């Protein structure tokens, strides 16, 4: 009977802890993330977006085998596009849901922020999982940020979602033929 009570109390404690963490994410992560991105965009004189392969695009390869790093495209945002990006981020709702995606992210887009010629931060984006890995802020991003990033990537002439595995297979096949 004591084991049942102990397990029940342990489960309840985890639920309470999870609720506290979820509440903290709702209240703090989104606003901090948004403000960090606003400050980064204000500081950045150049923003470059790269579209590239991810290790998961090569399912036929063993973990021990190297995977090619294939670049599909890149774009440097114009001053007007960078300004529009900043305006959209400033207008974003800071709300962050408490949940995290339960998938393995495959980052196919990397945004690099430069002040003059110096790299100040790198943001990797997985549109499928809606996960961001950003070295300037490790908190959960605002939920609506992916809508903004989708627009920015599209306006840059790149595509947020593609058949990445087929694209990688086609690119690696053509490079082997040459």
List, in sequence order, every residue forming a beta bridge with 122; answer none if it has no partner. 112
From residue 157, how far is each of 21, 48, 137 by CA, in Å?
38, 12, 26
Residue 7 domain flag: no
Residue 8 domain flag: no
Residue 12 domain flag: no
Interior angle at CA 84, CA 99 and CA 80, nearest 5: 145
Low-confidence ranges of the chain (pLDDT < 50): 4, 9-23, 175-178
Q: How far is Cα 168 from Cα 128, in angstroms, rounded to an integer?
A: 17
Q: Report whether 103 contacts 59 (CB < 8 A).
A: no
State phi, psi for 72 to the nearest 5 degrees: -95, -25
Residue 51 domain flag: yes
pLDDT of residue 89: 98
pLDDT of residue 12: 37
Residue 5 domain flag: no
From residue 103, how far is each of 12, 56, 94, 127 by CA, in Å?
26, 12, 23, 12
Residue 17 domain flag: no
How many domains does the structure of the chain reveal? 1
Per DSSP (E only), the strands in 21-154 are 46-52, 71-76, 109-115, 118-126, 131-134
For residue 169, what are the domain limits?
28-177
Residue 62 domain flag: yes
* pTM attached to this predicted model: 0.81
- Report helix, strand or coil for 18: helix
Residue 13 domain flag: no
pLDDT of residue 5: 56
């Amino acid at each position: 009977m004591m084991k049942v009570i102990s397990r029940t109390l342990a489960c309840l404690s985890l639920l309470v802890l999870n609720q506290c963490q979820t509440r903290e994410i709702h209240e703090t992560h989104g606003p901090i993330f948004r403000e960090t991105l606003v400050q980064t965009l204000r500081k950045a004189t150049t923003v470059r977006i790269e579209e590239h392969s991810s290790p998961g695009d090569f399912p036929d390869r063993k973990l021990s085998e190297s995977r090619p790093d294939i670049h599909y495209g890149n774009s440097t945002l114009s001053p007007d596009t960078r300004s529009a990006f900043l305006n959209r981020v400033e207008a974003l709702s800071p709300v962050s849901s408490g949940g995290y995606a339960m998938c393995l992210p495959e980052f196919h887009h990397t945004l690099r922020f430069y002040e003059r010629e110096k790299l100040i931060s790198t943001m990797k984006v997985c549109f499928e999982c809606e996960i961001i890995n950003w070295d300037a802020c490790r908190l959960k991003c605002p939920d609506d940020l992916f809508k903004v990033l989708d627009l920015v990537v599209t306006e840059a002439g790149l595509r947020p979602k593609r058949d990445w595995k087929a694209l990688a297979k086609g690119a690696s096949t053509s490079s082997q033929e040459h």
